[in-house]
């Protein structure tokens, strides 16, 4: 027998002064292999035409549909209702600006993040369009690719206790991005440059290591490993600098 | 913020650059100190457990070790260093505890929600999921904070008592007995066992979780020398559990001996001296 589902959805329109934040229940019959992407569209078609939520690819690729599903930040398009109990509570992700109902503005956040970590290759080399592309060994390329798989869904930020209570915290996806450029041999930023960006309370030493990010990342990025690598590398930098301070002009480990 | 490449000169005055670097340096230092002191204390507690459990061989072994330590001035400097490290760790590690109640509640709520508690998956599936993506970390951390607070309270009492003992012998005050089995056992039997039982449990839990977290935070993905494989979360968890139970069991047997509930199980190694008639 098909279950009757209750979608308990957070409703609030910040632009409408009469709107008050509340949860509204929508009932529907469960159909085989129903996922939340389809379920939410049914609600919008039949019951609440003004319901706001985001979807683009419905295949776990674009990162638009992150929301709190029974308290856990994850991609709605990849969540089957069969995995959930009959009452499904849907709320917008915290830590981002609310657009309305389930829709949040991850775009502005990610744009700011990219600017803050200067998410581009820093190089002094003149670009020569005619030259052959610079070669990179397979191992490095694969490592970088692994971290590049981030779809900017924001789940790791919503699931991070530190990001939830501290607005200035960079967040897992930003640290992951930094790790990606640290690994890239074409980026000329040196350890000292990285140090002041990540070795702070807003960076990796503000992270409490509660691992919410690693546990919710829908792309299963090795976030914790990236952080451990950063902590080690930053400590090498600090140790190298301590030596330099003491007079032996040892080069900083890179 | 980090600037390299062409934008360096434009965005930073020299002074500003030094200021952000110094700030980063300070914050790195504080984190490294809280981790370093934590690891130091955990290693010290293992050594400590080893020496205290000398009571398992009877009073003679215990007294021999404490006499040795105090006579050769090993106990005194260790006490000073450990007391200082204890408070430095408390101050630096507490930085990570959110100051507001609402923030602490938020941390707990997120942890509870993420752990699939309201997901309709079978127990077996949950166990399978836990294997790949275990989620106990938030509650582990909360217990680390709680056990830390217990250690702060009870550990201070314990440190005070031990310092008083050692000072008495070192400076020949009062009876000047120093640390000795008879007095320790009398204290334990007189009611202090409650304090020690709670302190023992809190310390082992705190050190176990702490070492696990240090491994995950700093070591994940690093190659283990000789064996050659990389450190994983599962590995660290297993290790933590073994160490935790090992020291908990030894600790509680030691406490039972001190409380006079059981006889020293290893007394045959060091039989008591015949009483001179
Ligand atoms: C004075 C009482 C103590 C308090 C209030 C306290 C508190 C804390 C707190 C809040 C943390 C978490 C820090 C973080 O998340 O980064 C921590 C970490 C730790 N503590 Fe303690 N602690 C105390 C005593 C001890 C003792 C006696 C030991 C040794 C047995 C110890 C070993 C550790 C270790 C190994 C860590 C892990 C460090 C890390 O995660 O970076 N602590 N402590
Ligand atoms: S490990 Fe760090 S970044 Fe990840 S959720 Fe925890 S505090 Fe946030
Ligand atoms: S790291 Fe994972 S959870 Fe975070 S934004 Fe990228 S894909 Fe999403
Ligand atoms: S709709 Fe693109 S990830 Fe869900």
Q: Is B176 left (phi over 0), alpha (psi -120 to 50) or beta?
A: left
Within a domain: B254: yes
Question: Looking at the CA of A203, which ligand is closest?
Answer: 2
The finding on whether A174 has its CB within 6 A of some atom of ligand 2 is: no
Within a domain: A42: yes
* pLDDT above 60: residue A248: no
DSSP state of B229: P
* pLDDT above 70: residue A130: yes
Supply the CATH number for residue B18's domain: 1.20.1300.10
- Own/partner pairs, A118-121, CB within 8 angstroms, 24+ separation: A118/B1, A118/B2, A118/B3, A119/A177, A119/A181, A121/A181, A121/A184, A121/A186, A121/A187
Domain range holding B187?
Answer: 10-98+131-264
d(CA B221, CA B216): 9
CA closest to B136 among chain A residues = A210
Within a domain: A248: no
As a whole number, the mean pLDDT across chain A is 88
Domain range holding A40?
Answer: 4-104
In a shared domain, residues A55 and A88: yes
In a shared domain, residues A91 and A172: no
> Which of A73, A208, A215 has most ligand 2 atoms within 8 Å of CB, for mutation?
A208
Q: Name the residue among A112, A116, A63, A88 with its Cα closest to residue A4.
A: A88
Within a domain: B104: no
pLDDT given for residue B158 in this prediction: 92
Question: Looking at the CA of B153, which ligand is closest?
Answer: 1
Which pTM does this prediction carry? 0.84
pLDDT given for residue B4 in this prediction: 36
Within a domain: B218: yes
d(CA A35, CA A60): 12
In a shared domain, residues A124 and A197: yes
Partner B contacted by A115 (CB < 8 A) = no
In a shared domain, residues A153 and A205: yes
Residue A54 alpha carbon to ligand 4 centre in Å: 8
Within a domain: A139: yes
Q: Which of residues 166-225 of A touch B (CB under 8 A)?
A: 187-190, 192-197, 199-201, 203, 205-206, 208-212, 214-216, 220, 222, 224-225
Contact A161 B113 (CB under 8 A): no
Q: Of B23, B31, B110, which has the smallest distance from its Cβ to A212's Cβ?
A: B110
Residue B109 alpha carbon to ligand 4 centre in Å: 26
The finding on whether A163 has its CB within 6 A of some atom of ligand 3 is: no
> Which residue CA neighbors atom 1 of ligand 3 most closely?
A173
d(CA B208, CA B49): 14
Within a domain: A58: yes
pLDDT given for residue A9 in this prediction: 94
pLDDT given for residue B172 in this prediction: 78
Q: Name the residue among B194, B196, B176 with its Cα closest to residue B52.
A: B196
d(CA B121, CA B128): 11
In a shared domain, residues A153 and A56: no
For residues B134 and A25, which has the higher predicted lDDT (pLDDT)? Answer: A25
Low-confidence ranges of chain B (pLDDT < 70): 1-18, 116-121, 125-135, 176, 271-277
Task: Please report where in the chains the tokens 């050594």 appear, as a residue.
Answer: B47
Once rounded to an integer, what is the mean pLDDT over residues A154-169? 90
In a shared domain, residues A66 and A164: no
> Which residue CA neighbors atom 7 of ligand 3 most closely?
A150
3-class secondary structure per residue, chain A = CCCEEEEEEEECCCCCCCCCCEEEEEEEECCCCCEHHHHHHHHHHHCCCCCCCCCCCCCCCCCCCEEEECCEEEEHHHCEHHHCCCEEEEECCCCCEEEECCEEEHHHHHHHHHHHCCCCCCCCCCCCCCCCCCCCCHHHHHHHHHHHCCCCCCHHHHCCHHHHHCCCCCCHHHHHHHHHHHHCCCCCCCHHHHHHHHCCCCCCCCCCCCCHHHHHCCCCCCHHHHHHHHHHHHHHHHHHHHHHHCCCCCCCCC
Q: Which atom of ligand 4 is nearest to the CA of A65?
A: 4
Contact A165 B116 (CB under 8 A): no
In a shared domain, residues A48 and A154: no
* pLDDT above 50: residue A253: no
Contact A72 B96 (CB under 8 A): no
Within a domain: B181: yes
The finding on whether A106 has its CB within 6 A of some atom of ligand 2 is: no
Q: A191-246 pLDDT, tens per residue? A: 888 888 888 888 888 888 888 898 889 999 989 889 999 999 888 888 876 655 55
**Structure tokens, B50:** 């080893």
Query: What is the number of structural domains in chain A?
Result: 2
Indicate the pairing of strand A4-11 with strand A22-29.
antiparallel
Q: B243-264 pLDDT, tens per residue? A: 999 999 999 999 999 888 888 8
pLDDT given for residue B73 in this prediction: 84
In a shared domain, residues A143 and A213: yes
pLDDT given for residue B1 in this prediction: 39
pLDDT given for residue A173 in this prediction: 94
Query: What is the number of structural domains in chain B?
Result: 1
Supply the CATH number for residue A215's domain: 1.10.1060.10
Within a domain: B59: yes
Supply the CATH number for residue A26's domain: 3.10.20.30
CA of residue A70 relative to chain centroid, distance: 19
> Which residue CA neighbors atom 18 of ligand 1 most closely?
B210
The finding on whether A69 has its CB within 6 A of some atom of ligand 4 is: no
């Amino acid at each position: 027998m098909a279950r009757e589902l209750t979608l308990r959805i957070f409703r609030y329109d910040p632009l409408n002064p009469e709107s008050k934040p509340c949860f509204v229940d929508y009932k529907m019959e469960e159909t085989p292999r129903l996922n939340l992407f389809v379920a939410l569209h049914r609600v919008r078609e039949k019951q609440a035409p003004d319901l706001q939520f985001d979807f683009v690819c419905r295949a776990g690729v674009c990162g638009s549909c992150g929301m709190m599903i029974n308290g856990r930040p994850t991609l709605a398009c990849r969540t089957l209702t069969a995995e959930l109990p009959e009452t499904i509570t849907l709320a917008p992700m915290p830590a981002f600006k609310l657009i309305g109902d389930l829709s949040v503005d991850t775009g502005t956040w990610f744009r700011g993040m990219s600017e803050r970590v200067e998410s581009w290759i820093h190089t002094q080399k003149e670009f020569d369009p005619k030259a052959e592309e610079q070669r990179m060994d397979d191992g490095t390329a694969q490592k970088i690719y692994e971290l590049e798989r981030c779809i900017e869904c924001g789940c790791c930020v919503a699931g991070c206790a530190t990001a939830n209570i501290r607005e200035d915290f960079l967040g897992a996806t930003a640290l992951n991005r930094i790790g990606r450029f640290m690994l890239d041999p074409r980026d000329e930023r040196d350890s000292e440059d990285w140090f002041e960006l990540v070795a702070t309370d807003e960076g990796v030493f503000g992270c409490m290591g509660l691992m919410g990010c690693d546990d919710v990342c829908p792309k299963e990025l090795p976030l914790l490993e990236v952080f451990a690598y950063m902590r080690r590398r930053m400590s090498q930098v600090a140790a190298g600098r301590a030596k330099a301070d003491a007079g032996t002009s040892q080069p900083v480990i890179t | 913020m980090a600037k390299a490449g062409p934008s360096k000169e434009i965005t930073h005055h020299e002074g500003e650059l030094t200021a952000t670097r110094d700030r980063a340096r300070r914050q790195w230092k504080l984190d490294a100190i809280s981790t370093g002191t934590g690891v130091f204390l955990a290693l010290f507690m293992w050594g400590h457990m080893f020496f205290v459990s000398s009571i398992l061989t009877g009073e003679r072994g215990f007294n021999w070790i404490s006499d040795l330590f105090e006579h050769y001035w090993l106990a005194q400097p260790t006490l000073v260093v450990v007391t200082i490290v204890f408070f430095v760790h408390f101050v630096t590690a507490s930085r990570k505890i959110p100051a507001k109640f609402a923030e602490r509640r938020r941390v707990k709520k997120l942890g509870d929600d993420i752990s699939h508690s309201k997901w309709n998956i079978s127990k077996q599936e949950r166990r399978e999921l836990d294997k790949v993506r275990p989620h106990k970390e938030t509650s582990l951390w909360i217990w680390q904070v709680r056990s830390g607070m217990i250690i702060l309270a009870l550990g201070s009492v314990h440190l005070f008592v031990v310092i008083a003992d050692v000072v008495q012998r070192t400076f020949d005050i009062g009876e000047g007995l120093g640390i000795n089995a008879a007095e320790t056992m009398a204290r334990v039997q007189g009611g202090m066992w409650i304090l020690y039982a709670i302190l023992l449990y809190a310390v082992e839990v705190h050190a176990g979780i702490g070492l696990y977290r240090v491994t995950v935070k700093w070591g994940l993905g690093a190659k283990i020398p000789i064996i050659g494989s990389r450190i994983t979360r599962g590995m660290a968890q297993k290790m933590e559990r073994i160490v935790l139970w090992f020291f908990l069991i030894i600790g509680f047997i030691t406490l039972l001996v001190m409380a006079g509930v059981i006889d020293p199980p290893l007394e045959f190694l060091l039989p008591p001296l015949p009483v001179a008639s």
